[in-house]
Structure 1
Amino acid sequence: MKSPAPLKRLLLLLLLTQSAKPQTVDINTLGRIVTFFDQNYQTFSVNRDPQQYAVAINVLRTQCEKDFLPKRSNFLKEESPDVKTFNPLYEGKELIVARVKKADGFSIHAERLLLTSIENHSIPPMTNLLNKLKDSCTIFYTYKSPCVKSCLNESSPYNILSGLDNWSKHSSVKAFVFKDIFWADKPKENLQESFKKIVARVPLYRCVSENECYACKGEGNTPIDAHCLPPPEN
């Protein structure tokens, strides 16, 4: 039995509406959002060097589209103005932030605090954040790239890959972003192979400044873009 013409038109309209939604974060807007994070949520050590931290947001898609300008007046407005005082973890309505936690002689990395079930959380903070809004825009930003030896190592009990798997199933446009390469991983570690583990789950970007962001690519047999890797050794 053929569908009535009005029903066909309605189905076509729905399909066109779905396909019109942007499937990736606008890269220029991404640079502005990362700068907003660094200006508002990053803390500094005693010698004024920026500390490692990680932040994730789950917001309306329109806030990740072209020409959006994040400001305190229009972006993450319901979050505490004292996010930096929450150590090592802040959980808000649209925002979660973590710094490195020293525990029993070792460090729990900021990415792991957000993506896995630790710190007395039966559910990872990222999972709680994702459950609050569907069909949205989700950005995970870590100032230093995830380390090769634990965060991106399947054999390590401290890896974040299961957390990325969970995020990959969420119905949002996604961006995993970093600014600097973790000091212990440059240039000796195989970041090409390790970064591909992220790309296999969510899109990877590097934003080194507000006006300088790169899509790291790396899907399938495509190599990771050179802008997302340390310079070659001489």
Structure 2
Amino acid sequence: MLPGRLPHSALWTAALLLWLGMETLGHIRQKNLHTIINYIMRFQVQYSFAVSLSRTYCDNPSGLKQELRKNELMRLWAAINRKGGLYDPKEGHIVAAQVNPLDRGAEHSEWRLLWGQQQSPVQKLLARTYNSSSCLIFFTLNSPCVTTCLQENGPYNILKMVSDTFLNISNDYKAFVFQKIYWRDWENEMPQSLLDAWHQLKNVPLLRCDNNGCRDCSGNDPNTNRCLARM
């Protein structure tokens, strides 16, 4: 082999990775993730859902309706269409929650799905489906808020629960997804502080999926991180 020349196998691997693009590295392929999210999404009020799928459908979601049937989605939509709605069935592949208003403040939808240790809706979902072999996607319409969900010492923070939930699932088969930036955070937080808050979510790739597709939010530079674009 000539100095400075790569072997053919290395060149082939590099070309393959270039062709596949960064969207395949470290999380569910973004095109597939976008397809799955669009199949489930319905509402534009703040709500969250977690879906546990066979990894087959995250690799190729063309047959997704066989795993996640329309009648299951219709039951979910009916439950979430009510104020403070919670969808936490004893069977099936998905759980969901709206915000639950309280006399003072509210239980945010993300917290409602993750709280409760082994009895949380998401842990029960994993237990009845694929456990650590799941393809687990957690979606929330608005980005988790800085002052409640991502406040490390706050009573309703989700940081440890997210980390524990996703710890044992392969990085290629998990995602924490939001569609919009929460408007209060957009108005009150500097871009860098917003990124720093998001990056406290451990053991799961954070992505933003909207009409323009899905984008990886892991970059540290607020000038180049495409998740910070305003819709």
TM-score using structure 2 length = 0.75
Determine which of 147, 150, 153 is the counterpart of 2:151: 153
Map of 2:54 onto structure 1: 60
Map of 1:129 onto structure 2: 125
In 2: Cα distance, 1:171 partner to 1:142 partner: 19
Q: Is the counterpart of residue 216 in structure 1 residue 217 in structure 2?
A: yes
Q: Is the counterpart of residue 144 in structure 1 residue 145 in structure 2?
A: no
**Residues 186 and 230 of structure 1 are in contact (CA less than 8 Å); yes or no, is this contact kept in structure 2?**
no
Map of 2:6 onto structure 1: none
Deviations 1:122-151, CA, capped at 9 Å, x for gaps: 721111112221312000000000000010
Q: Is the counterpart of residue 91 in structure 1 residue 88 in structure 2?
A: yes
In 2: Cα distance, 1:25 partner to 1:213 partner: 10
Measure how far apart 1:80 and its partner are: 5.6
In 1: Cα distance, 2:226 partner to 2:73 partner: 34
The correspondence of residues 35-74 of structure 1 with structure 2, limited to 5 A, is 35-39=38-42, 42=43, 50-65=44-59, 67-69=60-62, 73-74=65-66
Q: Mind listing any 5+ residue stretches in structure 1 that lack a counterpart?
A: 1-21, 43-49
SS at match of 2:188: coil
**Residues 33 and 70 of structure 1 are in contact (CA less than 8 Å); yes or no, is this contact kept in structure 2?**
no
SS at match of 1:131: helix
Deviations 1:29-69, CA, capped at 9 Å, x for gaps: 11111111223xx2xxxxxxx2111000111001111x423
In 2: Cα distance, 1:64 partner to 1:103 partner: 37
SS at match of 2:31: helix
In 2: Cα distance, 1:203 partner to 1:108 partner: 24
**Residues 96 and 114 of structure 1 are in contact (CA less than 8 Å); yes or no, is this contact kept in structure 2?**
yes
Aligned-residue identity in percent: 32
In 1: Cα distance, 2:73 partner to 2:180 partner: 27
**Residues 76 and 95 of structure 2 are in contact (CA less than 8 Å); yes or no, is this contact kept in structure 1?**
no
SS at match of 1:83: helix
Measure how far apart 1:202 and its partner are: 0.8
SS at match of 2:56: helix
**Residues 143 and 180 of structure 2 are in contact (CA less than 8 Å); yes or no, is this contact kept in structure 1?**
yes
Measure how far apart 1:183 and its partner are: 1.0
Query: Given residue 216 of structure 2, which amino acid in structure 1 is its aligned partner?
Result: A
Map of 1:166 onto structure 2: 164
In 1: Cα distance, 2:48 partner to 2:78 partner: 15
Determine which of 175, 196, 201 is the counterpart of 2:199: 196
Measure how far apart 1:188 and its partner are: 2.6
TM-score using structure 1 length = 0.74
**Residues 40 and 73 of structure 2 are in contact (CA less than 8 Å); yes or no, is this contact kept in structure 1?**
no
RMSD: 2.3
**Residues 51 and 137 of structure 2 are in contact (CA less than 8 Å); yes or no, is this contact kept in structure 1?**
yes
CA 1:177–1:70 in structure 2 vs 1: closer, same or farther (change >3 Å)? farther
CA 1:104–1:196 in structure 2 vs 1: closer, same or farther (change >3 Å)? same
Q: Is the counterpart of residue 186 in structure 1 residue 186 in structure 2?
A: yes
In 2: Cα distance, 1:182 partner to 1:33 partner: 22
In 1: Cα distance, 2:49 partner to 2:37 partner: 10
Query: Given residue 76 of structure 1, which amino acid in structure 2 is its aligned partner?
Result: L
**Residues 46 and 99 of structure 2 are in contact (CA less than 8 Å); yes or no, is this contact kept in structure 1?**
yes
Measure how far apart 1:23 and its partner are: 5.8
**Residues 98 and 109 of structure 2 are in contact (CA less than 8 Å); yes or no, is this contact kept in structure 1?**
yes
Tell me whether 74-83 or 184-193 shows the greater mean CA deviation.
74-83
Task: Pick the structure with more helix per residue.
Answer: 2
The correspondence of residues 73-88 of structure 1 with structure 2, limited to 5 A, is 73-77=65-69, 79=72, 81-86=74-79, 87=82, 88=85
